[in-house]
Structure 1
Amino acid sequence: MSYRLAVLLVTAALTACTGRLPVAEKPASLQAGSRWQVEWLGERPLVDNSHLSLTLAEEGRAYGDGGCNRWLSSYELHGEQLTFTAPSSTLMACPGALMEQEQRFLHMLSKITRWDFSTTGQLQLWADQGDPIRLWPLKEED
């Protein structure tokens, strides 16, 4: 096997194992019906191979995957102001690191007061203190 082919195969295999879902282009604004994948919680990246998501559904409902459990909440969006009620979730047990990350995410979500987009197109959800939750837009499901 040639060296180029070997490098191509290794690159393809590593790309397939990254665990990131396909992302869409940066939207013009935050709106109901949008779906997001969490990349950072404050100053921390996510635990390897974990997937946290946020969907802002119609009628002020939000839901997603907490990495271990499914969660849901209500939200209010007024311009750049965004707030969530305290999320509730299913009660499945998972490894300690995933449970801790999920609890941190749900706690941070309940403290959000505003949103913006970074220069790289990430959605940033801000509380009054600390670093934001950073998310990438997800493509629509086929």
Structure 2
Amino acid sequence: MLMKPLAVLSLVFLAACQPGGDTSAADPVPTEAELAQVWRLERLNGEIFSNRATLDLTDPARATGQAPCNRWFAAREVQLPAFRFGMFGATRMACPALEAERRYLDAMAEVDAARLSDGWLILTGPGGLMLEFRQETP
């Protein structure tokens, strides 16, 4: 008689120990209209990005923005949720934040997916790459 409740309790315990699902899968695929904004980078791979860097997606064919030192531009290759940038170009002014700029542009070149989550634009790539943007306020 004790075996049946013990077996049920064991099953409940095992079910509770199962890893949770990927919550990103629950995020809806963004529409082009939702992406068509200017976004500001807040975090790169989970760390606060203290330099100013933007991503302007108001043109459906290309992306532009401000890296910490220079303006940049790239073609967009989008079939959402897949999201990639084509060839990058940038101005070439020197400034003290060139290392931060290099990290930002290198990360952007690796992006392969986009999603929206609670007002954040999240761009991801291989190896756990994650860039988290908020809508730029004027």
After TM superposition, the score normalised by the length of structure 1 is 0.68
Number of the residue aligned with 1:112? 111
* Aligned mates of 1:131, 1:111 — CA distance in 2: 8
1:86/1:108 CA distance change after superposition, 3 Å: farther
Correspondence list, 1:84-123, <5 A? 84-95=85-96, 98-118=97-117, 120-123=118-121
* Aligned mates of 2:36, 2:129 — CA distance in 1: 25
SS in 1 for 2:41: strand
User: What is the number of equivalent residue pairs in this alignment?
Assistant: 108
Superposed displacement of residue 30, structure 1: 4.3
User: Which structure has the larger Rg over C-alpha atoms?
Assistant: 2
Number of the residue aligned with 1:29? 31
Number of the residue aligned with 2:135? 137
**Stretches (4+) displaced over 6 A:** none
1:33/1:125 CA distance change after superposition, 3 Å: same
Query: What residue ranges of structure 1 are gaps of 5+ in the alignment?
Result: 1-27
* Aligned mates of 2:60, 2:119 — CA distance in 1: 25
Query: What residue ranges of structure 2 are gaps of 5+ in the alignment?
Result: 1-29
1:37/1:57 CA distance change after superposition, 3 Å: same
8 Å CA contact retained: 2:123, 2:130: yes
* Corresponding letter in the other structure for 1:58: D
- Alignment partner of 1:40 is 2:40: no
* Aligned mates of 2:136, 2:32 — CA distance in 1: 13
User: Which of 114, 128, 131 pairs up with 2:126?
Assistant: 128
Superposed displacement of residue 43, structure 1: 2.9
Superposed displacement of residue 34, structure 1: 1.7
SS in 1 for 2:126: coil
Choose between structure 1 and 2: higher helix proportion: 2
* Corresponding letter in the other structure for 2:44: L
RMSD value, Cα: 1.9
After TM superposition, the score normalised by the length of structure 2 is 0.70
8 Å CA contact retained: 1:37, 1:51: yes
| CA shift digits 1:32-86 (9 cap, x unpaired) | 6321011011132113xx2100011325111000011101111122121100024
1:107/1:87 CA distance change after superposition, 3 Å: same
Number of the residue aligned with 1:3? none
* Aligned mates of 1:55, 1:42 — CA distance in 2: 20
Number of the residue aligned with 1:65? 66
